[in-house]
Structure 1
Amino acid sequence: MRFLPASAIGGLEKFFAENPRAALAFSGGVDSAYLMYAASRCGADFRAYYVKSEFQPQFELDDARRLADRLSAPMTVIPLSVLDCAEIAANPPERCYLCKKRIFGAIAREAERDGFSLIMDGTNASDDEGDRPGMKALREMRVRSPLRECGLTKAEIRRLSAEAGLFTWDKPAYACLATRVPAGTQIDAATLRRVEGAEAALAALGFTDLRVRLFHGAARVQLPESQIMGAAARHFEIKSALAPYFDTVLLDMEGR
């Protein structure tokens, strides 16, 4: 436990002392990355489970594998098609709830085979339950959220991650690819691949913390306000980079 800062020791040490064996629902993002680090440093017996569905881009899986390798943490990748579920593919307002149930159900089945009865995730104390419909699914499935239970906020987790030397410390928040499709619009794998390709193309041009949202068949590019003017000046370059994915590209001037 000497590897964890004093501010984080109390609650997390207590959690892992009381729950020495646990399965970690791992996304490769800031929060679950720090929870993986804490579990490792606390000497917990755990395994991380990453669910690779149509909704997760490849870079998230790459980041998850990279961190697991650095921490020598055991990780299982679970391939899962969420679009096989007609209800999820229809993209109703409760899609996030339905998807969480399917994803955590897959983790629970795999974890049970590995002898784990407790599942934990990286939800933190800054996460507003009103903005996270998927949290209803977590409650129903009795998923524990140690970071939230210990009162650790997003800002604190980023700071602690930087102190721990985790490359995820400044990773932008990322919502799954399904959020790029308006509610009520049918989701298909081909559309998600186009969105993923377009976002990767923009990242290759140096843009960060971005979204490419579907808008009546066009790509609506959302960037932080500080990057909008630069993007406007490079509109021909952006249109060319996104041409393999979208015929029409629109730049949202509001900023993220």
Structure 2
Amino acid sequence: MNRYEKLEKLKSILSDAGSAVVALSGGTDSTFLVSVARGVRGLRLMAVTVSTPYMFSSEVDDAVRFCLGHEVKHREIKMDIPSAVLLNPHDRCYLCKTEVMKAITAAAREGGFEFVLDGTNADDLREYRPGLRALREAGVRSPLAEAMLTKEEIRALSREAGIEVSDKPSNTCLLTRFPHDTQITPAGLRLAEKAERIVSEAGFPGARVRVHGELVRIEVRDDQFDRITLPGVRMKLSGAIKTLGFRYVSIDTEGYRTGSMNKKEEE
């Protein structure tokens, strides 16, 4: 199937649902899902965003802005850091997703909605995603994956639909900026967010800032590496990040890679 045929399949899935809550993170996938769902005749829809201290504030803002601009019923649920992830354990993604989906499914039951949907796409099913187990346990459906839509197809369809976040870089929560078995605090999370915003606004979108105590390690894409190592650029970045209270700023020579803070099995 091409992406247009998959889009029609997605609409059919949503139409059959009757009523649904969409877990809206503010990223491309869940925003696209809400965008399509709002156009499905007869579907009673609500978007729910769970706001935690380890979410980027810009993600929550994007979710709120989209729903306001498209007249989608939206609810924001504020949640503190769950005790299960305070020490950033190895299975943090599963533990966090479990708590988030508990909150969203409770909101769905309260509102009389039949299904809870999320933005997992077909590519996600081929990757290591511990949170998928929590989705299954909570009975959450993933219509994008059911329609076999890939990330690139979703981006292409989002661009064609004029969705503002169509080319927004994929992101993960701020817990992934810290090593496992590290005490997580709201203050530390905000510092990591500010440091990463400095790097992004300097012209390195999609870069990651990893925090190791007083040291910040910057990971950039291969095509960004030459520029960030220019003396004027790296010194300016280093100076700006140090104003946040960090003592050392380093550039990771291996560049950006997913899961770089995950423990290796032999550890």
The answer, yes or no, to whether TM exceeds 0.5 is yes
Who is 1:65 aligned against? Answer: 64
Alpha carbons 2:22, 2:48 under 8 Å: kept: yes
* Secondary structure class of the residue paired with 1:169: coil
Gapped runs of 5+ residues in structure 2?
Answer: 257-267
Question: Which shows bigger deviation, 134-143 or 234-243?
Answer: 234-243
Alignment of 1:83-232 (within 5 A): 83=82, 85=83, 87-128=84-125, 130-232=127-229
Aligned AA for 2:247?
D
Aligned AA for 2:81?
V
Question: Which shows bigger deviation, 182-191 or 135-144?
Answer: 182-191
Residues 1:240 and 2:239 are matched in the alignment? yes
- Find the aligned partners of 1:229 and 1:104 in 2 and give their Cα distance: 41
Residues 1:35 and 2:33 are matched in the alignment? yes
Deviation at 1:105, TM superposition (A): 0.6
Aligned AA for 1:11?
K
Deviation at 1:110, TM superposition (A): 1.8
Deviations 1:159-218 (A, max 9, x none): 110110111111100010000111122222221111001011122222211110013531
* Secondary structure class of the residue paired with 2:165: helix
Aligned counterpart for 2:10 among listed residues 4, 9, 12: 12
Q: How many residues matched?
A: 250
Deviation at 1:225, TM superposition (A): 1.4
- Find the aligned partners of 1:174 and 1:143 in 2 and give their Cα distance: 21
Query: After the TM superposition, which parts of structure 1 deviate over 2 Å for at least 4 consecutive aligned residues?
Result: 5-10
Alpha carbons 1:48, 1:73 under 8 Å: kept: yes
Alpha carbons 1:202, 1:241 under 8 Å: kept: no
- Find the aligned partners of 1:48 and 1:6 in 2 and give their Cα distance: 24
RMSD: 1.5
Aligned AA for 1:70?
G
Deviations 1:131-151 (A, max 9, x none): 100110000000000000011
Deviations 1:60-115 (A, max 9, x none): 011112221232211111100124x1x21121111111100111111111222112
TM-score in terms of structure 2 length: 0.89
Deviation at 1:117, TM superposition (A): 3.1
* Secondary structure class of the residue paired with 1:143: coil
Who is 1:77 aligned against? Answer: 76
TM-score in terms of structure 1 length: 0.93
- Find the aligned partners of 2:128 and 2:95 in 1 and give their Cα distance: 15
- Find the aligned partners of 1:154 and 1:167 in 2 and give their Cα distance: 16
Gapped runs of 5+ residues in structure 1?
Answer: none
Deviation at 1:130, TM superposition (A): 4.8
- Find the aligned partners of 2:225 and 2:190 in 1 and give their Cα distance: 24
Alpha carbons 2:18, 2:114 under 8 Å: kept: no
